[in-house]
Amino acid sequence: MENLYEKTISKEQIYSGKVIDLYIEEVELPNKKIGRREVVKHPGAVAVLAVTNEGKILMVEQFRKPLEKTIIEIPAGKLEKGEDPLECAKRELLEETGFACESMESIGSFYTSPGFADELIHLYYTNTLIKQGDQMTDEDEFLNVLELSIDEAKELMKKQQIHDAKTAYSVMYMELTRALKK
Amino acid sequence: MENLYEKTISKEQIYSGKVIDLYIEEVELPNKKIGRREVVKHPGAVAVLAVTNEGKILMVEQFRKPLEKTIIEIPAGKLEKGEDPLECAKRELLEETGFACESMESIGSFYTSPGFADELIHLYYTNTLIKQGDQMTDEDEFLNVLELSIDEAKELMKKQQIHDAKTAYSVMYMELTRALKK
């Protein structure tokens, strides 16, 4: 099959919210039949793999309403309108952990749920942390900061306390870096 | 801060669809103020890291309406109601690629977007593939099957043709396995 494109026939906005918008799109499928796609629009996000002088990974423990539980993730947040992802990553790291950094590099980006959402997450790495002060989280954001070794993080993955894609990817990134050094 | 829990005060269903449902929940925040959470409910999904006798990874090229582009991913699909994730993984692999397998093992699970969605993806690994026949995709599903080496997959990640979390994680999993063998 050559052409996989799905042309939009009609588009209806179901919801416009603080974090996401929801659309239903009627599309023409490659076989010319009509299909229906549910599309969540998201502004995009950043996440930061931040490693301390002691080689520990900065993580935040946060209650996630969709999961009805608290999980441990790398610092992350939504892009503000028009915000540069690198600036957003520095801002979120400072707000959530109180750490600034001298430099930060991109280690990739990925769509989290391409089947129903356009959320693109930009992942950054830093090991040049400078403690600036306390957390300065948003008014509806509550979290605890942790510093974990790679092996502690792997243990928490087994216990499913670390249980999200960006953090699992980041822990494996650290493990691969360690394996390639040996 | 000890208790991060957010108690639901009220819950409104905005949408009920084929793939997702959308709810708005009013919650009591840890500081006793009232917050609002947008929650996408998803049935959960599976994805399969399937490696051929030649050491190549089976991938599918698929148009993703939320992204308005075609990307290359490992075979994946939604859980049917009450379906066992392992059975679902075998079914999706067969439907999308025409390959069955002798055995399949879990290599973890992760939430894709814990900030706004409860989608949990179960990831499986197999290297015991048996060609059964052609694709048998759903009526609104169109895709091309590819077989990629680890290095070809890494190249496609750089070009952002591989650009989603589960596939990026899987390619890194293969790379880590290779690095640890050396």
pLDDT in tens, A5-56: 999 999 999 999 999 999 999 999 999 999 999 999 999 999 999 999 999 9
| Better pLDDT: B124 or A182 | B124
Residue owning tokens 């939504």? A78
Measure A127 CA to nearest chain B CA, in Å: 21
Residue A41 makes CB contacts below 8 A (sequence gap 6+) with A20, A21, A22, A23, A117, A118, B66
Tell me which residue in B4, B39, B173 faces A61 most closely, judged by beta carbons. B4
Q: Give residue B5's pLDDT.
A: 95
Mark whether B116 and B145 lie in a shared domain. Answer: yes
Q: Which candidate in B1, B64, B172 is best for mutational testing of the A interface (most A CBs within 10 A)?
A: B64
Task: Using pLDDT thresholds of 50, 70 and 90, give the confidence band for residue B136.
Answer: confident
Nearest to B58 by CA among B93, B106, B92: B93
**Could you give the percent of chain B with pLDDT greater than 90?**
92
A110 with A147, same domain: the answer is yes
What is the band of A139 on the pLDDT scale with cuts at 50, 70, 90?
confident
Answer yes or no: do A82 and A137 share one domain: yes
Tell me which chain A residues have a C-beta less than 8 angstroms from the C-beta of B110.
163-165, 168
Q: Quote the mean pLDDT of chain B.
A: 96
Instruction: Give me the pLDDT at residue A135, please.
Output: 81
Among B139, B152, B155, B175, the active-site one is B139
Instruction: Considering only the beta carbons, identify the residue of B14, B15, B176 that sits closest to A179.
Output: B176
- A155-158 contacts, C-beta under 8 A, 24 or more apart: A156/A72, A157/B108
* Same domain (yes/no): A126, A146: yes
Q: Are residues A6 and A94 in the same domain?
A: no
Mean pLDDT of B102-120: 98
What average pLDDT does range B125-141 have in this prediction?
89
Q: What is the mean pLDDT of chain A?
A: 96
pLDDT tens for B80-100 read 999 999 999 999 999 999 999
For position A19, what pLDDT does the model report? 96
Strand pairing report for B69-73 and B57-64: antiparallel
Q: What is the pLDDT of residue A182?
A: 77
Query: Does the annotation count B96 as an active-site position?
Result: no
Could you tell me if A35 and A52 lie in one domain?
no
Selecting from B30, B117, B180 the residue whose C-beta is nearest the C-beta of A66 gives: B117
| Inter-chain residue contact A116 with B14, CB threshold 8 Å | no
- Given this model, what pLDDT does residue A141 score? 86
β-pair type (A129-131, A120-126): unpaired
Which residue has 């503000």 as its token pair? A80
Q: CA–CA separation, A169 vs B165, rounded Å?
A: 8
Q: Which pLDDT score is estimated for B182?
A: 76
CB contact under 8 A, A164 and B114: yes
CB pairs under 8 A between A and B: 201
Predicted confidence band of residue B139 (pLDDT cuts 50, 70, 90): confident
For A75-107, what is each residue's pLDDT tens digit? Answer: 999 999 999 999 999 999 999 999 999 999 999
CB contact under 8 A, A109 and B160: yes
Same-domain pairing of A76 and A156: yes
Do B14 and B96 lie in one domain? The reply is no
Predicted confidence (pLDDT) per residue in B12-70, tens digit: 999 999 999 999 999 999 999 999 999 999 999 999 999 999 999 999 999 999 999 99
Q: Which residues have C-beta within 8 Å of that of residue A34, sequence separation ≥ 6? A: A9, A26, A27, A28
Domain match, B33 and B57 both? no
**Same domain for B27 and B55?**
no
B65 and B111 share one domain: yes
- What's the structural domain count of chain A? 2
Range of the domain at A148: 45-181
What does the longest C-alpha to C-alpha distance in chain A come to?
59
Contacts with B149 (C-beta within 8 Å, 6 or more apart), sequence order: B55, B56, B57
Q: Is the pLDDT of residue B149 over 90?
A: yes
Which phi and psi angles does A167 have, rounded to 5°? -75, -40
Distance, in angstroms, between B164 CA and closest chain A CA?
Answer: 4
List CB contacts of A154: < 8 A, sequence separation 6 or more: A171, A175
Do B30 and B56 lie in a common domain?
Answer: no
CA distance A49 to A55: 11
pLDDT band at B4 (very low <50, low <70, confident <90, very high): very high
> Which residues, 6+ apart, have CB-to-CB distance to B87 below 8 Å?
none
For residue B2, what pLDDT is reported? 57
Q: Do B132 and B94 contact (CB within 8 A), yes or no?
A: yes
Using an 8 Å CB-CB cutoff, list chain B residues near A35. 140
d(CA B72, CA A151): 32
By CB atoms closer than 10 A (0-12, 13-18, 19+), residue B2 is exposed
What was the pLDDT predicted at A2?
Answer: 57
Checking if the pLDDT of B140 tops 90, the result is no
B156: left (phi over 0), alpha (psi -120 to 50) or beta: alpha
CATH number, position A116: 3.90.79.10
